[in-house]
Structure 1
Amino acid sequence: MRQIVHTSISGTTARVQLSNAFGAGPVTVSDINIARRSQGSSVTSSTNRRVTFGGKSSVTIPVGAKAVSDSVAFAVPALSDVAISFYVPSQETITTQHGLGLQTNYVAAGDVSSHATLTNPTTNGEYNLLSGLDVQNSAATGSVVTLGASITDGIGSLSDANRRWPNDLAVRLNQAGRTVGVLNEGISGNALLHDGSGQSAVNRFTRDVLQQPNVKWVVFADDPINDVNNSNPPSAAQLTAALTQIINAAHAQGVKFLCATLTPFKPDSGWTQAGEDSRDGYDAFVRSANSGCDGVVDFDTASHDPANPEQYLPAYDNGDHLHPNTDGLQAMANSVNLNLFS
């Protein structure tokens, strides 16, 4: 497998994170390599480095566990494409994956991880076993996790374009001279209160936020939209109670919690007045002085039509009325006050 990761910050060393969180059995991965991607499935061979786990060239990951590699000396440019390649010798079905990565990744037969170019690979748009790339930079002030659903995952942006709002935020941080890693933990369809498309934000918060390397901030974004965008939405009080729970969990570990308001979704097919009332109540709580939020990111104001605040500004609607387009995602990223990361 050769999977492409677009970086946020630069660094001089890196670590690879592999996960078997949802596996049915242990998974063995071997011949792990990291290199700068040149184009397509090809890498710049002079940049290729072997990756080890505890000094070994292979690692077996138990069910429910993750494996973090040894640090490898590897010059990582900011906002660049890095290829992580590895060989899975067994034929077991891989069930730990990110199904909608909006990135072309590659699979080739045999152990060809160190090859500069893969011959006749198949392609997919998902990530398998690879859960993160930890870019290490002594000047970094920390990392921010963007926790959300399909809007954070980048639905509405083009594949292979790296135009999700967290990518746009990473560009702004780099342009401002701030060395803050941006870790995208968006899962399409994810919700705050209930499992379904992945574990709920409440249930995955420890793993996907608090256990991330050098995490200092989390921006909690669009998950609650998938709670309220149906015929039987929870109340705003139910949403804010769960929000308070994960705010408290973040604060207990010294992580600052930045609350995002919810973007509009009328007239999506799941819209109801009751759901709109829950969204309004949630956004009002987030904006209030007693929310517990360490800062507010007002995605609602950044994206809605001032004349019809229950809907997107037409120039930002990707056509389904639920997701912003590329310009809308950029407007959301532009609304983030970079001074929050101080």
Structure 2
Amino acid sequence: MRRAAVFLLLLAAGCTAPAPVPPPGQPPSPSPSAPLPWVGTWATAVEGGGRPFDGHTLRQSVHTSIGGDIARLRLTNEFGDRPLMVGAVRLGGSVPVTFGGTASVTIPAGGTATSDEVPFDVPAGGDVTVSMYLPSPTGPSTRHAIAVRHNQVAAGDQTSAGRLTAPKNESSWFFLAGLDVRSDAGAVVAFGASITDGLGSASGANRRWPDLLSDRLRAAGLPVAVLNAGISGNRLLADDRGPSGMSRFERDVLRQPGARWAIISDDPLNDLGAADPPSADRIVAALRELISRAHAAGLRVICSTLTPFEGAGYFNERAERGRAQVNAFVRSADSGCDAVLDQDAATRDPARPTRFLPRHDSGDHLHPSADGFQAIADAVDLSWFTAGRPAADGPPPSARPPRPARTSATG
């Protein structure tokens, strides 16, 4: 009677009753848990200038890094000159994807769209197909030009077809920005130009150095996603083959879902080899700014030295002096980098350090061979992704742990 009276008094006062206390020895009922955060398992950096489509189905394949059972897609019309109508989207050829509860979506020129979450078994280190129907003229498309794999385009709405009828191959990704999963993993974003992009690696084999790094992380049991934000031909300080590295860093690194680490790689090579090269001092100042911006966003920064390129078409002594100056900055104690990925040491010929070791040279003296890509991936110290990880009973995965002491790794 006394307990009932207390309950009635609480109700009269507008209060809620206290939660019932379980009998001794019985564990409390679990409280509803918040959903895991979104983390990118695949992403790409986009530019303009892609071919138009009209009444076509695109079937594109992306290679994941981590797995999950809840997914979402990110689409982009960033470089479009008109609204982009997407009539239907499917994952894996069979699972429909919706946007705000509807099967179609119109993305304004310059805009993006993120799908609703969808139950879908995303494999770790596997391929996922994305089919989309484009019912009306798209105008010039937003794309990632060099996908290093074949995608397909066919007439009509074939999004649900097991196999496309009369398909044609395309070597780019169109209108895709990312595939995300619900996960407590973090992501490392590889940011750079053609060496990061995997130019020259075997088509469809997923042997870019970020892919090979992802393979190593999975083999070591480390739950870290790897996102490739390389654009072949990209420059750090000028718009060329996409927006400059400085202008796209926010989009391609800092806004990536779940990003905790950034590897700043090979963009400066294209600045040094340009017809109008900036000074090495300007490049160093730009790198300092990117490091500062990443730290302000809570990311750890892994800085890469620049690989040797004597013999390449745009090599000259001035560019080599600039490369040496940039590499000296990256290796210096006051760079601000949290770690150094020494791609130079991993790939150079000890007998002639301004050139690739012959087995690491693709033949053009600028891009690594298959062995060279592997050497870069192998030079990454996996402890960079374990230092400072929160304990099981520590802060939530979204919290940014303190940056570790600066370390370096070489080949």
* TM-score normalised by structure 2 residue count: 0.79
- Secondary structure of 1:246's match? helix
Over the residues paired in the alignment, what is the CA RMSD in angstroms?
1.1
Deviation (angstroms), 1:26: 1.0
Paired position in structure 2 for 1:64: 110
1:3 pairs, out of 42, 57, 60, with 60
Q: Is the 8 A contact 2:85 2:138 kept in 1?
A: no
1:295 pairs, out of 339, 343, 355, with 339
2:199 pairs, out of 152, 155, 180, with 155
Q: Is the 8 A contact 1:250 1:257 kept in 2?
A: yes
* TM-score normalised by structure 1 residue count: 0.94
Q: Is the 8 A contact 2:272 2:322 kept in 1?
A: yes
Instruction: Indicate how the Cα distance of structure 1 residues 182 and 331 shifts in structure 2: closer, same or farther if over 3 A, else same.
Output: same
CA distance in 2, matches of 1:313, 1:148: 22
2:293 counterpart of 1:249: yes
Paired position in structure 1 for 2:77: 20
Q: In the alignment, residue 19 of structure 1 is paired with which amino acid?
A: T
2:98 counterpart of 1:52: yes
The C-alpha deviation readout for 1:149-176, integer Å capped at 9, x for no partner, is: 1111111211111100000000000000
2:305 counterpart of 1:261: yes
When the two structures are aligned, how many residues end up with a matched partner?
Answer: 329
Shift >6 Å, 4+ stretches: none
- Secondary structure of 1:82's match? strand
CA distance in 2, matches of 1:256, 1:268: 32
The C-alpha deviation readout for 1:142-201, integer Å capped at 9, x for no partner, is: 111111111111112111111000000000000000111111111000011110100011
Paired position in structure 2 for 1:29: 86
Paired position in structure 2 for 1:194: 238
In structure 2, the gaps of 5 or more residues are 1-57, 387-411
Q: In the alignment, residue 238 of structure 1 is paired with which amino acid?
A: R
In structure 1, the gaps of 5 or more residues are 36-42
The C-alpha deviation readout for 1:284-335, integer Å capped at 9, x for no partner, is: 1001111011111110000000111100000110000000111100000000
Question: Bigger CA drift: 223-232 or 251-260?
Answer: 223-232
CA distance in 2, matches of 1:230, 1:51: 43
Q: In the alignment, residue 310 of structure 2 is paired with which amino acid?
A: K
CA distance in 2, matches of 1:258, 1:114: 42
Q: Is the 8 A contact 1:94 1:129 kept in 2?
A: no
Deviation (angstroms), 1:109: 0.8
CA distance in 2, matches of 1:173, 1:136: 19
Between structure 1 and structure 2, the one with the greater Rg is 2
Deviation (angstroms), 1:235: 2.1
Instruction: Indicate how the Cα distance of structure 1 residues 65 and 231 shifts in structure 2: closer, same or farther if over 3 A, else same.
Output: closer
2:210 counterpart of 1:166: yes
Q: In the alignment, residue 190 of structure 1 is paired with which amino acid?
A: N
Paired position in structure 2 for 1:330: 374
Q: Is the 8 A contact 1:10 1:76 kept in 2?
A: yes
Q: In the alignment, residue 241 of structure 1 is paired with which amino acid?
A: A
Instruction: Indicate how the Cα distance of structure 1 residues 308 and 232 shifts in structure 2: closer, same or farther if over 3 A, else same.
Output: farther
Q: Is the 8 A contact 1:12 1:137 kept in 2?
A: no
Aligned residues: percent identity? 50
CA distance in 2, matches of 1:68, 1:259: 31
CA distance in 1, matches of 2:297, 2:378: 28
Q: Is the 8 A contact 2:59 2:151 kept in 1?
A: yes
Paired position in structure 2 for 1:224: 268
The C-alpha deviation readout for 1:58-112, integer Å capped at 9, x for no partner, is: 1111121111111111111111110000101112323211111111101111111
1:143 pairs, out of 168, 179, 187, with 187
Paired position in structure 1 for 2:5: none
Paired position in structure 1 for 2:16: none
1:87 pairs, out of 119, 133, 147, with 133
CA distance in 2, matches of 1:340, 1:22: 36
